[in-house]
Amino acid sequence: MTVTIDRPLSWRDVARVGAGESLSLSDAAWKRVAQASRIVERIVETGVRAYGVNTGVGALSDTVVDRDSQSRLSRNIILSHACGVGPLLPAREVRSIIAAQIANFAHGHSGVRPEIIRHLAAFLERDCIPEVPSKGSAGYLTHNAHTALVLIGEGRAVVKGKSMKGAEALAAIGLNPLVLGAKEGLSLVNGTACATGLSALAVSRAEHLLDWADAIAALTLEAVGCQMAAFDEKVLALRPSAGIAKVGRRLRSRLHGSGLVAAAVGRRTQDALSLRSVPHAHGAAWDVFEQTADIVDQELASVTDNPAVSGTPEEPIVSSEAHAVAPALGQAADSLAIAIAQIAAMSERRTDRLVNPLVSGLPPFLASDAGSHSGFMIAQYTAAALSNDNRRLAAPASLDGGLTSGLQEDFLAHPTAAANKLLAILDNAEYILAIELMAAAQAHDFLVSKGARAPGTERIHAAVRSCVPVYGDDRPLNADMEALRAMITKTAPPAESQTGA
């Protein structure tokens, strides 16, 4: 499949490319790119002062670069900005960044030649993945520079699973190194493609995780005999929220027809908050998700180069602005990170209620032979540790400091750091929810004689048991956690009941 840019891309489009689809431009998009390239050519010919075209960059913005040096300036920007360190980004993340960068160029205000975009699109189509270190970007520069290295035959890339030098990677996919023109070096490191691509991928993962969080919570709620009255549609409507209404509807649908829930009616006046407030916490996360997704789409619809070129080749306009700064994106990623961290923290609390004999009404730690077996005692420790890790990660990156480039860049919005934090929190949250799912399924195995599961939760339980068997202290438990995490990251939750919503 191929995603075609004939309008601004959406975060879903970027996530699809990240997952392996190719990317192409419509005829109209190619015309915009060619027009902007001709404008830059005219700027070079006339000598109109333009940041990064015929001046230095950052604190060197007032240093004029003569025409003979402008191509060298582009190349040197790539080499000097490739300062990333640490582990490499996964291929899915690199592909998402490249997709967002092509989308920015396709607006027609960057001035890169069509050859630049064709090479980048070939990376996606032929699975050539530049090696991009994950650390070292205060905004966007270093990640983008490492992708650009491969375009000029430098750096390294992975082709068909093999790491090789940039020039070898280009040859392997039938391309030659590019000689960059004026402004192209700056355009290749500039803009918010890095943060936008990572955020689009994070939003995609967050949507999938929240779908599973609602389903897993329903399985736990049934196991503990929740009081369904708290999830009544009219009761929840007293607090207007699209997210609360959505989660309440899902819980009612998922738990419709449950013998276990019916048997528990009136057992307690009210449930603990980690149970009773599932619609409120999960609903708040869904609301934040929608807001974040809108901001990522807004970013993809935006020109994020500095400078932006417009006008015509006969009357070129060069606009020095701050569109490469993305406070809204950083704040949105921070907000979603907090929401996902809270969902995971609530999941850990529900896991504790399942394994804790003081409140569960189930065998201690869900062990088949408590005493000689520890059951899920230490699995809850793991969930607690990951939840605490998330709490530390959830501190807002968008408030981080840092002064760069000799006080020229004296404000940093840190959207890339916020997106990377969000991805790390999602990693932990997936494990935490997998642990709750594992515990909830085990709890149900002790409740067979107490009543029937709802059709909606029966499908979840069956999915778990098709992945891992009942646990009896007979194998290392981490393998089950990994298997269930893989299941919830690669598949959608089983269908809900179609009635009772």
Q: Give the total residue count for the chain.
A: 501
Q: What are the CA-CA distances from residue 468 to residues 341, 464, 483 (Å)? A: 26, 6, 7
**Residue 165, C-beta contacts closer than 8 angstroms, at least 6 positions apart:** 153, 155, 156
Look up residue 290 and give its amino acid.
E
3-state secondary structure 219-247: HHHHHCCCCHHHHCHHHHCCCCCHHHHHH
Distance (Å, whole) CA 40 – CA 310 = 9
Distance (Å, whole) CA 410 – CA 137 = 15
Structure tokens that stand for 213 in this block: 């969080």
158 DSSP 8-state letter: E
Strand 156-159 relative to strand 162-165: parallel, antiparallel, unpaired? Answer: antiparallel
Q: Is residue 129 within 8 Å of residue 91, measured between CB atoms? A: yes
51 tagged catalytic: yes
3-state secondary structure of 325: coil
Q: What are the CA-CA distances from residue 135 to residues 10, 83, 361 (Å)? A: 26, 9, 47
Structure tokens that stand for 449 in this block: 């004689």
Look up residue 19 and give its amino acid.
A
Among the listed residues 51, 140, 431, 471, the single catalytic one is: 51
Element (H or E) spanning 87, and its range?
Answer: strand 85-88
Please give the radius of gyration of the chain, using alpha carbons only, rounded to the nearest integer: 26
Q: Is residue 149 within 8 Å of residue 82, measured between CB atoms? A: yes
Strand partners, 316: 311
Distance (Å, whole) CA 390 – CA 422 = 9
Q: Is residue 2 within 8 Å of residue 22, measured between CB atoms? A: yes
Degrees to nearest 5, angle at CA 324 with 319 and 326: 135
Strand 133-135 relative to strand 85-88: parallel, antiparallel, unpaired? Answer: antiparallel
What amino acid positions are annotated as catalytic residues?
51
